[in-house]
Amino acid sequence: MKKLNTTKGLLLAFSLVGCLFACSNPSNTDDKKASTKTPDSLQDYVDQRLAIYEKVKLTTNLNELTASERKVLPLLIEAAKIMDELFWKQVYPQRDSLLSTIKDEKTKQFVLINYGPWDRLNGDKPFVTGIGAKTEGGTFYPAGMTKEALEKSDVKDKFGLYSVIRTEKDKLISVPYHVIFATELQKASSLLKQAALLTDDESFKKYLNLRADALVTDDYTASDYAWLDMKTNGLDIIIGPIENYEDKLFNARASFESYVLVKDKVWSKRLAKYVAMLPELQKGLPVAAKYKKEVPGTDSELNAYDVVYYAGDCNAGSKTIAVNLPNDEVIQQKKGTRRSQLKNAMKAKFDKILVPISKELIDKDQQQYIKFDAFFSNVMFHEVAHGLGIKNTVTGKGTVRSALKEQYSWLEEGKADILGLYMVTGLLKKGELTGDIKDYYTTFMAGILRSVRFGASSAHGKANMQCFNYFADQGAFERSANGTYKVNFEKFATAMNGLSDVILTLQGNGDKAAVEKVQKEKGIISATLQSDLDRLGKKGIPVDIVFEQGVDVLGMK
């Protein structure tokens, strides 16, 4: 669901166009320019890294809300805040004791942005004295537990989405989320029930009630179907344990998060027609027939929203600007997904990050092709493209997700990136999109340069590094002597098709070792690219955004 990026490259062929979204915090331009020296201490490091975030206020037009929606919205935000607390318990339960030992306010601020003492956009580098490396298993598994130990065990719910593994009397056991987090989940459930009583929209009421039940049972299927059935709702809330990014041991267990959303009905109406085109686009994918024989679901919603609150996983480090859910492959094939474009957050990243990057790194003659509509479409079709391709391996290894385990997320993000671009290209040829292909390709190139700054600990960062390297190998762009990048539009399209083939083949084969090899060989930033990215920091161009959000910001005190 969450961020857009991907990693491809069968050998060379794995370098994908990164999901075009992401990140957050305050500091003025002078501070940013002053912070480009090499850090001499952890304090210097924090000062410099804090400056990569730009503060953005999340607002929406409250005049568009009905009287009942105005009553419901604060309840949704309160429920979302509980997801934030639960995410802290998952990733760094010692938050309060850590913050109490830190005297420097900037360091505290950086801990809050990263949900812990590790820099999420710099390979999870620790930035607090006395803190060691971040573990792959986090709090999902007993300290020091290896992959082999869990795989060989007979513990129930070994790779469960909604449980943790603990040791009890020298034996591994699984404990469901609704048990270990019972108090918090019951409170969140109660808030959703209250919201359901107040809403006038029957489909939203049904979803809120079912999601409330799901939080205290860990059974989310019925609420996922009800969520997909909603058509007339003006508000939305995505809430619960959803993404697997935080479990770097197995990519199995989900982290808590929430988005509170206000529908942009005008933009949503424009987007409605594209989901029905998925089956035809699936048939045309540039890959062998056996890798595209699945039929994508088309009973999906494609909408634009203002996001007014982020909580938990989606608020940690890089910020999501488009969402594709649910992740359940069975539901995706039977029903489809809901693709939510977070338009206000997207526009903030375009204005404050992508445009300044383009002025620094895109060839002067091609800067005219950097357009918000192209950025919006590239991001949107990334999410739609999650529905294309292959969900089950052709080699009898089960689903792609279960076969690739911890290698799944970055490759899937890479797939969505490249197939999103494939969709844009095809729809332009059919006359279903307007504009110049040069706008979409050049803006996509700028998006890679933006997203590759997220670093190797991010699924989207890995995907973008792979994409950049693959496209470079194919001559899809060239770097001039003055350090700017120029797209070769013909070769860009060829590289797009080649990378699509590589990624879909890797997914369909379900060969985790092959995917691992590609990631190690292609998920790297060259010295030349790094020097270009360093220029962005020296110019004070932020890497991502951080939010002022909540009812106070909305004027709903």
In a domain, 167, yes or no: no
The CATH number covering residue 192 comes to: 3.30.540.30
Question: Looking at residue 11, what is its pLDDT?
Answer: 31
Range with the poorest average pLDDT among 171-175, 253-257, 295-299: 295-299
With a pLDDT cut of 70, the percent of the chain lying above it is 91
Residue 485 structural domain = 29-93+180-554
pTM: 0.78
In a domain, 102, yes or no: no
In a domain, 133, yes or no: no
Residue range 305-333, pLDDT digits in tens: 999 999 999 999 889 888 889 999 899 88
- Tell how strand 544-548 and strand 53-57 pair up: parallel
Q: Which of 484, 478, 527, 422 is nearest to 17 (CA)?
A: 422
In a domain, 403, yes or no: yes
In a domain, 125, yes or no: no
pLDDT at 457 over 90: no
In a domain, 152, yes or no: no
Q: Which of 386, 380, 388, 383 is nearest to 295 (CA)?
A: 388
- Structural domains counted in the chain: 1
Question: Looking at residue 22, what is its pLDDT?
Answer: 33
Q: Enumerate long-range contacts of 281-288, CB under 8 Å, 24 or more apart.
A: 281/388, 281/422, 281/423, 281/426, 282/388, 282/389, 284/426, 285/388, 285/389, 285/419, 285/422, 285/500, 285/504, 286/422, 286/497, 286/498, 286/500, 286/501, 287/500, 287/501, 287/504, 287/505, 288/501, 288/505
Other beta carbons within 10 angstroms of residue 534's beta carbon come to 11
Residue range 526-541, pLDDT digits in tens: 889 999 999 998 999 9
Q: Helices marked H in 386-457 — which ranges? A: 400-404, 408-430, 437-451
Work out the average pLDDT over 32-47.
65
In a domain, 20, yes or no: no
If you average pLDDT over every residue of the chain, what do you get? 89
pLDDT at 424 over 70: yes
Residue range 120-149, pLDDT digits in tens: 989 899 999 999 999 999 999 999 899 999
Question: pLDDT category, 557, cuts 50, 70, 90?
Answer: low
Question: Looking at residue 280, what is its pLDDT?
Answer: 87
Question: pLDDT category, 556, cuts 50, 70, 90?
Answer: confident
Work out the average pLDDT over 339-366.
95
Give how far Cα 507 sits from Cα of 52, 71, 417, Å: 34, 45, 15
Question: Looking at residue 3, what is its pLDDT?
Answer: 43
- CA 145 to chain CA mean position, Å: 27
Please give the torsion angle defined by the CA atoms of residues 318, 324, 330 and 331, in that order, rounded to the nearest 10 degrees. Answer: 130
CA distance 48 to 379: 29
Helix (H, G, I), strand (E, B) or coil at 36: coil
In a domain, 153, yes or no: no
